[in-house]
Homo-oligomer: A and B are copies of this chain.
Amino acid sequence: MDVFDAIFTRRSTRSYRPDPVDAGTLDKILLAGRHAPSGSNSQLCHFLAVTDPAVIDTLAGLVQQAFSRMETTENTYISLRWSIKQSKKGAYRFCYNAPALIIIANREDYGNNVADSAVAAENIMIACNALGLGSCYINQLRWLNGDPALSEYLRSLGMAENERVYASVILGYPDTADGLPERTPLPRTGNLVTYIPAKK
């Protein structure tokens, strides 16, 4: 797919078919993530590529437990407020029904950890769109990266002691009529530009 088509038609997918993502496809997507730049070329991202449904279920349970212990105020960010409210009802699943989840961990003591993880996530999402998969950026695991139970479980999966989660992406085949991602992005009414050109 042309790079601009891939960028301009990417849209977040929140409903997936159960079909698994095959290993070759997942590898190409991960390679795209690994090719994002990093501060001083540090390459400190650590991708946990989860396709085990039991592990995804365990993570979803831990996330719901963590959110259900939190309280909201009227200033709580809308998405976090929703996560907490649904979790208290036992009706929250941060990863929707996606069959694959790529968790991007990075070093806790590294100042560009969020930035480096996010650029890798964007490559992953563009690659998914080009390969006919849907994807969605998931901020929830980063918000919870201080939760002891979740951290302990992520460490059992391979996250190092000095790492925490700074981004994540869910992916899979979209539950649409033709099985392809919906490729009409929402209008860009925000994300405004101020031009500062040379004086004539």
Residue numbers of A with Cβ under 8 A of B are 1-8, 10, 12, 20, 23, 28, 30-55, 77-80, 110-112, 114-123, 125-127, 130, 136-137, 139, 142-143, 157-158, 167, 185-186, 188-199
Give which listed residue, B34, B38, B54, B116, contacts A193 with CB less than 8 A.
B34
The 9 closest A-B pairs by CB, nearest first: A43-B190, A118-B118, A122-B122, A158-B194, A119-B122, A3-B6, A34-B191, A3-B3, A115-B118
Number of copies: 2
Q: Which of B8, B35, B43, B126 contacts A189 (CB 8 A)?
A: B43
Q: List 25 A-B contacts (CB under 8 A).
A: A2-B3, A3-B6, A3-B127, A3-B130, A34-B188, A34-B191, A35-B188, A36-B122, A37-B122, A37-B137, A39-B79, A40-B78, A43-B191, A47-B194, A111-B139, A112-B139, A114-B118, A115-B117, A115-B121, A115-B142, A116-B118, A118-B119, A119-B122, A123-B126, A158-B196
